[in-house]
Amino acid sequence: MILNKYKKRYLITFLCVGILQIFASCKKDDKLLEINSDITTIIYMEANNNLRGEARKAIHELEGGLLNTKAKSNILVYIKDNDDIGYLLQIVANADPYRIVSDTIMSFPFYRKSDANQIREVLTYVDKRYNSETYNLVLWSHGTAWSPGADYLSPPKSKSFGEDRGQQIDIIALKDALPMHFNFIVFDACSMASIEVLYEFRDKADFIIASPTDILSDGFPYKAFISALSYPDRNSLIRIANSFFNYYDIQQGLYRSASVSVTDLSKLSKLASYLKLKSDHDRVYVTDGVQRLDFTPGFPVKLYDFSDFITKNFKQEDADAIRKLMDEAILYKNNTKEFLGNKIYKFSGITISCPLPDDPFYTYYSELSWNKDSFFLK
């Protein structure tokens, strides 16, 4: 039995009352400390949901992490945790775990719940203000792989990125909202290391760090790797992912549950092209016995380990070639042997789905870039 209280974005570790007033009271200083850096990292928090306390904890970790690093880069947080205003903060070092001292750079009124246009507005403002050579992005909220937002269909209920009291953003709208290219994107949200998500963002970033399973409530341990945000090299990407894995691997019991991968998005086109050559629309894909990585009861889409799915559905020669291409794209992968009591026998770092024609999301899936380019489904 999987206990909901252990799920990422269900366990609140801080009671955050009046967080709106906390940010509103931050004095905007027109003489903000200018950090001489060509690298800017934006952590975009959709927290107008049951994540308010988790958002505050993450900001404290960022402030605390800056105390012990000499890295010089811009680290910004945009947090939306209420119905009226979102706040863009420039993170500054702070040892006080009960008070957020980061400077409020700008406030953004909004008129709809979770909205891709708001993401575009915030990121466009950041680009104009900082004009950095390199940008990194952390997308922080609920997540359910490629599953469309609740506007798409009412049943089944889904929690795609940015859940805001029943409103979500699907990955196509989210991808289209990103106004600049990123060195890397971190999804601090559940189940976003699916081939469908990764491929959709292949022109928006060089790399993606994400989990193919749920993420437990603590999320990514920002304090452990904050200095890595100042360096655009691959070793920094692996350090971020490895810090995430190590944080959970030393836990006890059900809390020892984690999976993560780093994907080079430039390698995915070859993978899609090869599958297109081998596609057979009359093929009936086998899913029985394939390693599942969706462990939440009622999860809106089925997630299969990519490698295990390929092994059971293609002849050995083709499966070997596909796995080789996939391994070239995966810079790093790691997982605990169990996730919330569910054994993981096969793990490639990426998931894939295979909705049947009677699936309510089948039509939506057929319009994803992955399906169009790989001819995976009819």
Tens of pLDDT, residues 47-106: 777 778 888 899 999 999 998 887 678 999 999 888 888 999 999 999 988 888 999 999
What's the average model confidence in pLDDT over 344-367? 94
Banded pLDDT at 298 (limits 50, 70, 90) = confident
What's the average model confidence in pLDDT over 341-360? 95
DSSP 296: S
pLDDT at 14: 37
∠ Cα 90 92 94 (to 5°):
140
- Name the nearest CA neighbour of 333 among 196, 189, 229, 208: 208
Gap between the Cα atoms of 196 and 373, Å rounded? 11
**Residue ranges per structural domain of the chain:** 11-265, 271-332+341-374
Gap between the Cα atoms of 81 and 216, Å rounded? 20
pLDDT at 23: 53
* pLDDT exceeds 90 at position 39: yes
Q: Cα 163 to the chain's mean position, in Å? A: 13
* pLDDT exceeds 90 at position 205: yes
Instruction: Say which amino acid occupies 84.
Output: D
* CATH T-level assignment (fold) for domain 11-265: Rossmann fold (3.40.50)
Q: Is the pTM of this model over 0.85?
A: yes
Residue 366 CB burial class (10 angstroms; 0-12, 13-18, ≥19): middle
> pLDDT digit string (tens) for 113-172?
668 889 999 999 999 999 999 999 999 988 999 998 655 555 555 557 876 767 778 899
